[in-house]
Amino acid sequence: MDLDAALDYTRAQRRCVIVTLKADGRPQTSNVFQWTDSDGVVRISLTDDRAKTRNLRRDPRVSLHVTAEDFWSYVVLEGDADLSPVATAPDDATCDELVAYYRAMSGEHPDWAEYRAAMVADRRLVLRLRPTRAYGMLPR
């Protein structure tokens, strides 16, 4: 499958399933929301203490299964995860990236100071995926 066509597909879908690898090699799946930017970088907001984050630190290989509402068309993106640092201050680069993620997903937040504080309290970080391979079935 053409990677550019797959990325165009993912830009129209937000909900997806991320697949990481557990220490024993079995898949770990989680429902997440994704934003694919104009450069083809897929971003996902993660929490530091979750299994998927621990899995990605140990093994950065990731697959992202993106499906449409009709459940017939889908794309799977594969690549290696690039994890940002954990947000530690409301004005750090990770919080700035999380603000950009929120804006792309939902528009303006009613209280950015509150949002930034929540990102620090939740120990949020950003997964960046620059896909190297895609497969699936695009709509006709």
Which CATH number applies to 3-137: 3.40.50.2300, 3.40.190.10, 2.30.110.10, 3.20.20.70? 2.30.110.10
Q: Are 62 and 79 in contact (CB under 8 A)?
A: yes
- Give the pair of three-digit tokens for residue 40: 């083809």
Q: Are 87 and 124 in contact (CB under 8 A)?
A: yes
Taking the domains of the chain in order of start, what are their residue ranges?
A: 3-137
pLDDT tens-digit map of 12-60: 999 999 999 999 999 999 999 999 999 999 999 999 999 999 999 999 9
Q: What are the b/e assignments for 23-49, b being 16+ CB within 10 Å?
A: eeeeebebebebbbeeebebbbbbeee
**pTM for the predicted model, two decimal places:** 0.94
Between CA 139 and CA 72 the distance in angstroms is: 8
